[in-house]
Amino acid sequence: MREEMVRMGVQELKTVAEVDAALGDPRGTTLVFVNSVCGCAAGSARPGLSLALQHGNRPQRVVTVFAGVDLDAAARARQYFSDYAPSSPSLALFSDGEVVHFVHRHQIEGRGPQDIARTWLRRSTNSAQPVRFDVSGHVFHPGHSELHGITVVLETTGDVLYVGRYHEETDRGVLLHDVAEHRKETGGLPREEFIARTLKFGVRPQHQHLVVPREVVGRISKLAEW
């Protein structure tokens, strides 16, 4: 996983000092790739990044931190784009110290490397708008449900809406991981604004694991398709 990044010509940042040295200078363009041991990093994000970096129009600096491995370095890097919820893999593009483009895990899940490279090249200018992918039918985890490992929006038959990573559906209900919830009665953001902010800034989990009972499960859709 590390060697793959080095072969791309990406600079590894393993310590807080290395992160500050790379990101403390705001001049120019810097791409930060948050690496991960998960399947979507191996099958989609790293190959997609490799294809994108073969294009002539690449950032001046390309660096990476390894979430779950170099903990302090990853935590420090995330402080530079703290408006966005932590997710891995993910990608942040800086221009003169400002985040102009951010790709969350939910915008990577289930996509093929070519799709990801094409989208990154199209969007990694100075656009801060959320990336939206066309459905390609790529299977994220062969042998499982098409939605396994994908961040979904689960609408219930009541007033509650959940956003989290789909694991499976059993007789008990739908199991989600890293789940944010929206309830109409709390008086917070309207549902549409809640989803729009989640698309842009990422999922901020309130539950690590959650089973939504089958009898209240309504529509399930991919967050990236909203």
List the catalytic residues.
38, 40
Same fold, 2-123 and 151-225: no
pTM beyond 0.75, yes or no: yes
* Topology given in CATH for the domain delimited by 151-225: SH3 type barrels. (2.30.30)
Distances (CA, A) of 66 to 37, 86, 87, 88, 149: 9, 13, 12, 9, 20
Look up the CATH architecture of domain 2-123. 3-Layer(aba) Sandwich (3.40)
Q: How far apart are CA 68 and CA 144, in angstroms?
A: 25
Distances (CA, A) of 44 to 134, 168, 181: 15, 21, 27
41: left (phi over 0), alpha (psi -120 to 50) or beta: alpha
Q: How far apart are CA 111 and CA 190, in angstroms?
A: 29
- The pLDDT assigned to 122 comes to 65
DSSP one-letter code for 147: T
For 140-195, what is each residue's pLDDT tens digit? Answer: 455 667 898 899 999 999 999 999 999 999 999 999 999 999 998 666 789 999 99
Confidence band of 128 (pLDDT split at 50, 70, 90): very low
Any idea where the domains of the chain sit in the sequence? Answer: 2-123, 151-225
